[in-house]
Structure formats: C-alpha cells, structure tokens
Amino acid sequence: MIAYSTDVQSRRKFVLRLAKALMTYGAPSHRIEEQLNAACEKLKLKTRLAYLPNIIIVAFSDEVSHTDELHFVRSSGSRISLTFLRLIHDIYRDVLHYECTPDEGSR
C-alpha cells in the first residue's frame, strides 16, 4: 500500500490529466463528473467541477490561504476508444486503491 505524499500539485495534476483523458477518449458525460468527484474525494482535494460539452471547469480550493486555483480543461474532439477508456479506468483504479502514486498515474 502506498501512502500519498503531501504534494498537492501532483494530485491536482493527476485530476486534470484524468479529466482530459476521459473527454478525449469519449467517456460518457455522467461518468466523467462522477469519476472526477470520486478521485478528488479520495485524493483529499477540495474541488468544484462544472462539466460543459468539450470543457470541464475545475476549481481547486486551498483552505490554508483561502484561495482558488481555476483550470479549464478542454478537448477539441472526443472519439470513442474503448481500449483507451479501459486503460484510463485501470490507472484511475490503481491510484484510488493506493497501488500507484498520482505522479505515476499522470505518467
């Protein structure tokens, strides 16, 4: 079992890459939001998400400094690729079950 580092940036990077990958490879919109919320909760990130067609708005909250970091994740087009969606799900599951770190999942 891997304990997550205190590096918030690596966990945030993983969530942003996950969002981009899910949109790029054609995940259903209801699954994108659900998976991102679950990932943020498990990675202990205070996050607000808004999903619009071809764009996800992600706001990371920092309770220490009382600031938000806003990101717009955009995908120009989504093609359905079940092979890549399966790989993304496997990485997502490994990170959330502590089998790999968010840094390894981002790579």
- Each residue of 61-87: pLDDT tens digit? 887 777 889 999 998 766 888 999 999
pTM, to two decimals:
0.87
Kindly give the pairing relationship between strand 55-62 and strand 67-74.
antiparallel
- Each residue of 7-62: pLDDT tens digit? 889 999 999 999 999 999 988 888 899 999 999 999 999 999 998 888 999 999 88
Residue whose C-alpha is closest to residue 10's, from 51, 50, 39: 39
Phi/psi-derived region of residue 8, left when phi > 0, alpha when psi is between -120 and 50, beta in every other case: alpha
